[in-house]
Structure 1
Amino acid sequence: MVTLVNLRAYWRFVRVLHQFLPLIVTYARDRRKYLLFGGPRSVGPETQRERADRLLTSLLTLGPTFIKLGQLLSTRPDVLPPSYIDVLSSLQDDVPPAPWDETRPVLEAEVGPVDEVFDDFEREAISGASLGQVYRATYEGEEIAIKVRRPGVEALVESDLRALKWLLPLLLRFTDEARRFSLSNLAEEFDTTIREEMDYNRERRMLSEIRENFEGNDRIRIPDPIPELSGERVLAMEYLAGTKINDVTALDEQGLDRSELAESLQRIYLQMIIEDGVFHADPHPGNLSVDEDGAIIFYDFGMSGRVDAFFQDKIVEFYVAVANQDIDGILDAMVEMGTLSPNADRQVMGNVMELAIADVRGEDIEQYRVQQVIQQVEDTIYEFPLRLPRNFALILRVATVVEGVCITLDPDFDFISVATDYLTEQGYREEGVRQAVESAGDQLEETARSLVTVPPKLDETLDRVNRDDLTVEVRLDDEHDVLDQLAKRIAYSILVAVGILSTAILYSFNETPEAAAVAGAVTIPVGILLYRSLRRKKGVKARPQFTRQEMRRRREE
């Protein structure tokens, strides 16, 4: 028997398909102009931006689940091109709250009758989002904030997740191999992420843990949760009022030092990610305020992440390498984090990193903005078959959003300078120097060993050459099937030449016209295959590599 959820999922699938089908067909035509045949189409940045706007409209039309999906996609430059990331990054989870009459049953099912539990309860929500909304109330004489899950959102999300699961195979059919793995992982990640964000018990645990990590730190304030009023669908906490962190006029009127606020925010996130291993992952201005003493108030821990010890070490290595402009160190850290394939062309990737740093470097080696470096890396990530682990995607998003807030506070804010000072204070850069010295020592030891072992081996090899007893095995690494394509073209050319010659001979003698017609009919398809082989990708070549000219052209566009 078909359940109600399945029926709703079928209906949502039809709606989703109706919204996305034009885009799917468009992308399919990019690969084959006439769907079943034809060459690929060239798509410029303006066209990509128009399509991104259409995708944004579709996501907003489809409602809460797809707003969250759009936010997740905005953190995945390994799935979408930069133009899409730029458009989807503006997607804010800010929707009108549900009516009080619909929300009240959800709240009372968790905490009991509103009028009996609370001293006072404001029926108008102070903020609304796709999955929940926040109210103000008074409890035991204290002002509190109560986050309540949006009524009926569970069934809607469940239906939408099933619809997306059914849609995924269709999307994969029109996606190149480099993106299929990332898309499959993204679908699993989204399923986990949205369920976690709807679980207010998890949010309360994350909030409490981060609050404990900063206990005694007067630069940050995090609301204290109220366990007896909290559950899976309701989260109650103390109410902390403040000035929005991007309201620079109000901050100036309060006499607060905006440069210090920017530095405090950056240091808080460095501690979360590098030291504590648990971090608030949604630092847009709506979730950050400043109290009258200059402490930064954090709200909404629904989107949060964890970093294990191994990943923390790799992030530190990445930051130190960026600060030291160590290209090999950057690439090594990316490989060990799993974002870059060990088989990737290091020379090409090194050129990309070098260009990215050179483009944004000032007079001082550390005077460049990490957001610009990350943007160049993100552009590269889409072009190369790289993968972004979930937490690294969140960290990239946090880094860019946090710096955007910091630049709003202080236009001269220098992320790298603050990060470098923090790493130095914590002893990470000294550790990096120690490791470099140890590595140099290992290399020196290996070189000394080679000085002893290589001469005898060289002498033996020369003896074998002198005796004509040296065999050399050669293996060709044809990653892009260039030799295979050349072999096909040679074979097609020979078959076409033989077919044309045979047809001409049979036709000239005019003794067997049927045989000439058959030879010609066999030759024509082979000729078509040869023609298509010669036209494909405008000749035999490997995947285009990043050059300085190509990067300059991309920046100009």
Structure 2
Amino acid sequence: LRHSLFHADPHPGNISVTDDGKLILYDYGMVGRLDNETRLRLIRLYLALVEKDPPRTVNAMADLGMLTPDFNRSVIEKGIELAVRAMHGKKPDEMEVQSLMELANKTMSKFPFVLPKNLALYMRMASIIEGIYKTHKVDFKFVKVLREILEKEHLIKDAYIEEIKYSFQRFAKSIDATISIAPELKKFIDENRSLQFLNAKPKSNILLSGSIVSSAIFVGSTVLYASNELLGITGMISSLIIMSIFTIFRKH
């Protein structure tokens, strides 16, 4: 996660331990490499798991290509919530699991997890390591030491920076999509005789422009709210402030 390289074949024959407890890895015939974008997305995913945040976990998984495009967010988030609880050593309640399965059936959803090609070796490596400590009956919860690993490698800051970038990119895309309908909206208003009063005063165009900008920001904020509540609420408040400014300016 720090240098983008990993030993891709850590089976028991390739692992040894020194007298003072340090690991030795042999045979670097199979080495994997992560591109920087994938590496940062993995860090985002791990931090979301550590912080028990299903929406952010799903966002990171989708960015990594771990989910099919038509996945049902509510079903996946509930499944992730139960999985995260299990990772932290809390066994999910049977009724909750049953409820999740019923929800999946009602929405005609299956769990649409896929294995991206660029993560195949990485997941193989992780599975081999998991198999080693399970074979030796070691009670090890990866997620419990994950934050310590991220902090030790100074990756927490990188994860938060990437999360903020992702949130703003999603917000910008939402605004772009909303603004793209603005010409059609104006055309509709101009052509609709019942709304001709909007053209009664020149300054009405100012209010119309403010309404379009404010609406774009508000719609973008509601979309963003699902993945980042703070930025979503900030955007909503900003849209109201912008609308108020345009209204005051029109009056004067």
TM-score (ref. length: structure 1): 0.26
Distance (Å, rounded) in 1 between the aligned partners of 2:5 and 2:86: 33
Matches within 5 A, 1:254-265: none
Q: Is the 8 A contact 1:305 1:391 kept in 2?
A: no
The DSSP-based 3-state class of the residue aligned with 1:344 is coil
Aligned twin of 2:26:
299
Aligned twin of 1:330:
57
Q: Which structure has the larger Rg?
A: 1
Q: Deviations over 1:288-330 (max 9, x none)?
A: 1224454433223333211000000011011111111111111
Q: Deviations over 1:133-168 (max 9, x none)?
A: xxxxxxxxxxxxxxxxxxxxxxxxxxxxxxxxxxxx
Query: Match of 1:325, as an amino acid?
Result: K
Matches within 5 A, 1:94-109: none
Structure 2 counterpart of 1:421, from 148, 151, 154: 148
Q: Is the 8 A contact 1:321 1:330 kept in 2?
A: yes
Distance (Å, rounded) in 2 between the aligned partners of 1:432 and 1:294: 30
Aligned twin of 1:321:
48
Identical amino acids, percent of aligned pairs: 33
CA pair 333-298 structure 1, distance change in 2 beyond 3 A: same
Distance (Å, rounded) in 2 between the aligned partners of 1:286 and 1:334: 32
Aligned twin of 1:290:
17
Aligned twin of 1:339:
66
Distance (Å, rounded) in 1 between the aligned partners of 2:22 and 2:242: 63
Distance (Å, rounded) in 2 between the aligned partners of 1:284 and 1:418: 21
Aligned twin of 1:396:
123
Distance (Å, rounded) in 1 between the aligned partners of 2:160 and 2:32: 30
CA pair 299-330 structure 1, distance change in 2 beyond 3 A: same
Matches within 5 A, 1:531-542: none
Aligned twin of 1:443:
232
Aligned twin of 1:276:
3
Query: Match of 1:284, as an amino acid?
Result: H
CA pair 441-413 structure 1, distance change in 2 beyond 3 A: closer
Of structures 1 and 2, the one scoring higher in RCO (CA 8 A, sep 6+) is 2
Matches within 5 A, 1:59-138: none
Shift in Å, 1:420: 1.3
The DSSP-based 3-state class of the residue aligned with 1:411 is coil
Aligned twin of 1:354:
81
Structure 1 unmatched runs, 5+: 1-273, 364-382, 456-557
CA pair 287-302 structure 1, distance change in 2 beyond 3 A: same
Structure 2 unmatched runs, 5+: 91-109, 169-227, 245-252
Query: Match of 1:290, as an amino acid?
Result: V
Distance (Å, rounded) in 2 between the aligned partners of 1:452 and 1:433: 28
Distance (Å, rounded) in 2 between the aligned partners of 1:278 and 1:430: 20
Q: Is the 8 A contact 2:42 2:60 kept in 1?
A: yes
CA pair 418-408 structure 1, distance change in 2 beyond 3 A: farther
Aligned twin of 2:192:
none
Distance (Å, rounded) in 1 between the aligned partners of 2:69 and 2:61: 9
Query: Match of 2:235, as an amino acid?
Result: E
Q: Is the 8 A contact 2:54 2:80 kept in 1?
A: yes
Q: Is the 8 A contact 2:44 2:160 kept in 1?
A: no
Matches within 5 A, 1:150-165: none
Q: Deviations over 1:465-491 (max 9, x none)?
A: xxxxxxxxxxxxxxxxxxxxxxxxxxx
Aligned twin of 2:194:
none
The DSSP-based 3-state class of the residue aligned with 1:276 is coil
Q: Is the 8 A contact 2:7 2:30 kept in 1?
A: yes
Distance (Å, rounded) in 2 between the aligned partners of 1:342 and 1:349: 12
Shift in Å, 1:430: 4.5
Q: Is the 8 A contact 1:403 1:415 kept in 2?
A: no
Is 2:148 aligned against 1:411?
A: no
Matches within 5 A, 1:236-255: none
Distance (Å, rounded) in 1 between the aligned partners of 2:73 and 2:139: 33
Q: Is the 8 A contact 1:406 1:413 kept in 2?
A: yes
Query: Match of 1:277, as an amino acid?
Result: S
Number of paired residues?
Answer: 165
Query: Match of 2:240, as an amino acid?
Result: L
Query: Match of 1:448, as an amino acid?
Result: I
Shift in Å, 1:331: 0.8
Q: Deviations over 1:434-458 (max 9, x none)?
A: 6569966643442123224679xxx
Query: Match of 2:122, as an amino acid?
Result: I
Distance (Å, rounded) in 2 between the aligned partners of 1:344 and 1:330: 14
Q: Is the 8 A contact 2:88 2:144 kept in 1?
A: no
Q: Is the 8 A contact 1:291 1:297 kept in 2?
A: yes
Q: Is the 8 A contact 1:281 1:304 kept in 2?
A: yes
TM-score (ref. length: structure 2): 0.54
Q: Is the 8 A contact 1:287 1:300 kept in 2?
A: yes
Distance (Å, rounded) in 1 between the aligned partners of 2:113 and 2:140: 31
